[in-house]
Chains A and B, each alone.
Chain A
Amino acid sequence: MSPSILFVLIVALSVLAFQLGKTRAIAMVGGQRRIRDLHSLPGHYGLLTAMWCGLPALVVFLTWVLLQDAVITRLVIAQLPAASQALPDAQLGLLLNDLRNVVAGDVPPEMVAPETRVAAAQYAQSRDIAELALTAIVISIGIVGMLWVRAKIRPDLRARNSYERVIEILLFGCSAVAVFTTLGIVLSIVFEAFRFFSIVPVTEFVFGTNWSPQMAIRADQVGSSGAFGAVPLFAGTLLISFIAMIVAVPIGLFSAIYLAEYAPIKVRKYVKPLLEVLAGVPTVVYGFFAVTTVGPALRVAGEAMGLPVAGESALAAGLVMGIMIIPFVSSLSDDMITAVPQSLRDGAYALGATRSETIRQVVLRAALPGVVGGVLLAISRAIGETMIVVMAAGLSANLTANPLEAVTTVTVQIVTLLVGDQEFDSPKTLAAFALGLILFLVTLLLNVIALYVVRKYREQYE
């Protein structure tokens, strides 16, 4: 039976279990009129029955479906002729692909090698057996659960409490997903990064100034070692982020000041969302904008001034990234500025300060920690931004502080190392995870500091 039909069947069985539990509970006390003798509402008995019928069955079902393909594939590979088993991973992958296509009916069996045809038949057979077994197991689990609870139903069974307990555990499970995500990120990245560091020493990676991750396809090729000194990437990332902050911080901060302190409420009401539109535009759009509009414009301007501007200059990527980040800076600063109590302003006015003096010497000073926190968050956003730099910054790892040259960044290298086919074990692929680890740690650190600063400041006036 196909998994989707089986899923529907599980749901149908649960509905049946609900009815069964409910009628059983009513029958136990002798009919509708005496349901006050029950501990819980009849529906609760039904829900409890349905839960014990459906949940275990679903858990088994999902685990099975997730693992089925991997297990069967392994079984099929084990039965392949020894020659095919000894193939390198990439070719084995091709063979498996053929096999899947045959099983799915996309490729007629005559078009593949005879071993593959045999294996495909085996695969199809194992899959049929597995699906049959799954159907039998899941349905019997459901029925056993249903009958077990039904047998347990008594008027004094605390059905509501048990049911609510299970729901609460489920809800807790939902919130634990976030923790598991973090755990998954840390484990997967750290694991791969450590494999990388067993090939390339950490010190070379962090302090080396030569980045050329091209690994040779054949072992005897020239320059097969590859160089993994990531300093040019860090420098490029910092350069672009720095340009972005030069654009975003003044514009963002001044817009926040103007909108919070000067602008009439009506203007603020319309302009604030308009600025926030910039935050909602997908980054790939900014990347395209940088490539087709800003980059060429800068080159023309550079030629006019006699400056050589690279086609993919750090300046173009940084400028556009700055535009993207304006709303982050402005809305966070806005929050911080409006959180400053009016009494502080009134005090400054009473001493004869003008509006701008009040803002500069009182409001901004009071809001400073919050604004700094916002800027830190914006920097972390700039460092982790991918699409703009992938499209508008270069690939060559230049160690330079000249914004008119092409530089590359950590995120660009992660993308270039991982897009396209690659084996999972080469240092090239693993290097991407090492870069990812650095990226994750740096942005995490910035966020923790920023959140700490912001929270500390907020508490002052609350």
Chain B
Amino acid sequence: MNSTNDLPVKSAEETQALVRKSLARRYRAEKRFRAYGAAAVLSGIGFVIFLFGTILSQGASVFRQSYVQLTVTYDAEVIDPSGARNLDELVTADYQALIRAAMRERFPEVEGRPNLRELYGVVSSAASLELQQRVVADPSIIGSRETLWVLADDTVDMLLKDKVRRSAPEDERRLSDQQIGWIDALVADGSLKLRFNAAFLSNGDSRDPEQAGVRGALIGSALTLLITLSLSFPIGVGAAIYLEEFAPRNRITDIIEVNINNLAAVPSIVFGLLGLAMFIALFGLPRSAPLAGGLVLTLLTLPTIIIASRAALKAVPPSIREAALGMGASRLQMVMHHVIPLATPGMLTGAIIGMARALGESAPLLMIGMVAFVVDIPRSFVDPATALPVQVFLWSDLPERGFVERTSGAIIVLLLFLMVMNATAVILRNKFEKRW
């Protein structure tokens, strides 16, 4: 064994010299270390900025959409040959023909079927729907002429937004040179331009990018979250109150606590498996419906809400409880009249954060079939529906260039909602949080 005597004994001067010599190196190491830290933080912030920047730059243009101004003649011979103004006939009439006629009128020089087909391709197929709605709403316009703005095709839209390169070889873009010529002519006289796209928020899903909107997904998410909130908030708060205020310290409550902590870290897709096996296969709830989705998300958010509510209850000082008990209140009265009012802001914050998590969650919803292509806006808890993040997932899979923009647009809407929710939570916490 070594004794201290074996160590070379250094004088104070020698030690000082040694330290001084190594100082420069140590300070360099210090600087390096600090720079690593700063670099890590900066790259983290960089990722945030890059992520949001990419999404914004890809998706912000979704709120503007190309429209073509056309002068349409509601030709009675085309849409109502019988003259009976029969609604069934009016609904099924060939409105595409009116659009085609209007386009021919605008570009009289175009001839030949292939050329004409290209010309018609400038206008969206949704334009005829617009005419149909107008005629059905007011059949008296049949026979008149009207100048109106109709949706342009998504390829035109992409060109106007500079999302496709004009310089690309003709066979690599989806617009031909002559189509681009017409588009330029239309733009030049002001009858083709980008206008505010309210349809993105008011339309349901569609196979045509220019028509697709997020309303169906938004309503689906809202219905799902309504179920989630109305179940997980009361149950979560109840569980937190029991565990914090009533539970005796014994095995059963220990098991419950360990359980909740573990449940919080179970991958969300496993909850989807549970939902599929239990709610769909066993209980026979309808597939693809907000009801089943809401139940799955309830189980998913429950641990978050319980943990946050317990923290809020813990933050209420014991003196308040003791004062209430000292005045002769029962345990339940103490909790209901004194502890809960003080803990409410904290519990609400937890609930909002839980809901934000539920809003962004998509994996378990895939399991229970909320990935269907749903055109109709869901009206009840058992209608087929999808949710906003699932809509993002669905659109991201589609090949059309226009859907990349739609996807980013849907993400922007989703992030806006999440931001509002989180900001509410923060404001709530800052405003009502008490330091005792």
Contacts and interface: CB of A to CB of B under 8 A. Distances in A.
Interface of A: 66, 69-70, 73, 160, 164, 167-168, 170-179, 181-182, 184-185, 188-189, 191-192, 250-255, 257-259, 261-263, 271, 274-275, 277-278, 280-289, 291-293, 323, 326, 330, 352, 354-357, 359-360, 377, 380-381, 383-387, 390-391, 411, 414-415, 418-419, 424, 432-433, 436, 439-440, 443-444, 447-448, 451
Please list the 5 inter-chain residue pairs (A to B) with the smallest Cβ-Cβ separation, ordered nearest first: A384-B267, A258-B37, A282-B360, A174-B238, A254-B40
B97 to A, nearest CB: 30
Nearest to A354: B30
B415 A281 contact: yes
Contact of A271 (B36, B45, B241, B261): B45
Interface stretch (B177-185, B198-206, B275-283): B275-283
B404 interface: yes
21 contacts: A73-B284, A164-B331, A171-B239, A172-B242, A174-B239, A175-B247, A175-B253, A181-B274, A192-B277, A255-B41, A255-B44, A281-B51, A282-B360, A284-B389, A289-B54, A354-B30, A384-B270, A414-B273, A414-B367, A419-B367, A447-B261
Interface string B357-395: 001111100110101000000000000000001101100
Contacts of A432: 273
A414 B269 contact: yes
A191 B282 CA distance: 12
Q: Which of B19, B43, B242 has the most CB of A within 10 A?
A: B242
A64 B3 CA distance: 84
Nearest to B243: A175
Nearest to B39: A254
Contact of B54 (A263, A293, A436): A293
B266 A440 contact: yes
Interface string B248-278: 0000010110011111011111110110111
Interface of B: 19, 26-27, 29-30, 32-34, 36-41, 43-45, 47-48, 51, 54-55, 58, 234-239, 241-243, 246-247, 253, 255-256, 259-263, 265-271, 273-274, 276-278, 281-284, 299, 302-303, 306, 330-332, 356, 359-363, 366-367, 369, 371, 389-390, 392-393, 396, 404, 407-408, 411, 414-415, 418, 422
A274 B269 CA distance: 27
Contacts of A181: 263, 274, 299, 302
Contacts of A323: 47, 51
A274 to B, nearest CB: 6
Contacts of B415: 281, 285
Nearest to B363: A386
Given A164-B332, A179-B256, A386-B268, 16 more contacts: A164-B331, A172-B246, A175-B243, A179-B259, A181-B299, A184-B278, A184-B299, A185-B274, A188-B274, A189-B274, A250-B40, A263-B41, A281-B418, A326-B44, A354-B26, A380-B267
A282 B358 CA distance: 10
A415 B281 contact: no
Contact of B302 (A167, A177, A188): A177
A131 to B, nearest CB: 16
Main secondary structure of the interface of B (DSSP, over half): helix
A171 B332 CA distance: 11
B414 A178 contact: no
A285 B369 CA distance: 20
B427 to A, nearest CB: 13
A181 to B, nearest CB: 5
A282 B48 contact: no
Task: Give the interface centre of B19, B299, B390 by most chain A CB atoms within 10 Å.
Answer: B299
A181 B262 CA distance: 11
B48 A274 contact: yes
Nearest to A100: B286
B239 A177 contact: yes
A275 B371 CA distance: 31
B33 A356 contact: yes
Contacts of B389: 282, 284-285, 387
A173 B363 CA distance: 28
A262 B369 CA distance: 49
Nearest to B261: A451
B269 A439 contact: yes
Contacts of A185: 266, 270-271, 273-274
Contact of B266 (A176, A251, A262, A443): A443
A171 B41 CA distance: 44
Contact of A189 (B30, B45, B241, B270): B270
Contacts of B255: 179
B36 A254 contact: yes
Contacts of A288: 55, 392, 396, 407-408, 411
Contact of A326 (B47, B238, B246): B47
Contacts of B38: 258, 262
Contact of B242 (A168, A263, A277, A443): A168
B414 A282 contact: yes
A71 to B, nearest CB: 10
A383 B267 contact: yes
Contacts of A443: 265-267, 270
Contacts of A66: 283
A289 B267 contact: no
Nearest to B274: A185
A380 B41 CA distance: 24
Residue among B39, B236, B239 facing the most chain A CB atoms (10 A cut-off) = B239
Contacts of B273: 185, 188-189, 414, 418, 432-433, 436
Nearest to B49: A274
Contacts of A73: 284
Nearest to A183: B259
Contact of B241 (A171, A188, A259, A275): A171
